[in-house]
Structure 1
């Protein structure tokens, strides 16, 4: 789990490495993450990343897997530098109805000409941007999901509401045990375009997601012990570049 601060008040990305998978096919579903950080732009330049100025003061670059990052050339805010996550949708108003009317997000902006809408749960949190691309959404093989924590007692009501509205429930309310750690309760939904949404009981989530001061060291040790090179060599497959 990587981010600019604890999950209590920061957006965090979960990076998953699947052994034996050489590559993924990207779809058109995930359009990028926007960060406000001049330092990120400087770091990208120093490390030789390709940067293209999309609009004045906004640069775009790609992670190794092809995911786009939009970097805003402004001083990093005291709150979360991750400003928004942009998802593609096939019908903007239908998606607004789902995320706002059913999931309770506030609509901060709506641009009919650009077919965009900006939604969120709080002014100081990362926002969700919906971009109507005018065609069906293809999730490829590299799709993920977006997760939110909420009071545990709200989960049954959310599940019931989705059933009543004939919305897709991928995983009904279930308890997930983590050895030696908190047991979390989750409901996993899918919006009209199939974007997966995981709702997690807040109390257990906060216990489970405590920031580990040794996190960087643990990641470095795990990468040093990685045996994927041996797997790819044994199966005569090419390992993807970093």
Structure 2
């Protein structure tokens, strides 16, 4: 088997939610996919099985995205198995919600370690290793523009992601590698729906002019565009939120 002819994607946080949908969407476009996961091996294996069952190629690799040695090893596996790396989608992240006055600072540190340090660690390896013609896609959030109470710590971490994204795009001048971020609005994932009553979900679904929640597939379509045909889009934050302002 020629492992260098097809494009290769690493998707962090690829075992569930939006990351899982991105894995399947990129595989459908012909990418060999490395499904990175933090701790849930069964879900990562299920993502791999879905890709392989549809005729694609995928493997699961565990790595803490904030651990530089683990992330370097993740890229090593991708290169050994599939011949290189063309697309890196950094979807791994955690969300802690609390008013500023009440936030647990240890929880803040854990979230910022994953969301901010993790973006630097993954971005560092991606900047060194993604092949010409490739793409790096980070994840922000539309809550940055909405300024919702309780989201200050999470939004702050994603503000950092946007800053890294825009600057890295310029640092990679001459490499023919794009760097963009996708900023979803309310999206119907298990993480989003957990703990919300029907009234809250209905209210949030009514916010965008399209009058529904986003789906993981909606977000995966944007990622697939940036990873392939949208190569002229670079150094941008795409607010995929149905029109919420």
Q: TM-score, normalised by structure 1?
A: 0.29
TM-score scaled by length of structure 2: 0.29
Greater share of residues in helix: 2
> Could you say which structure has the higher strand fraction?
1
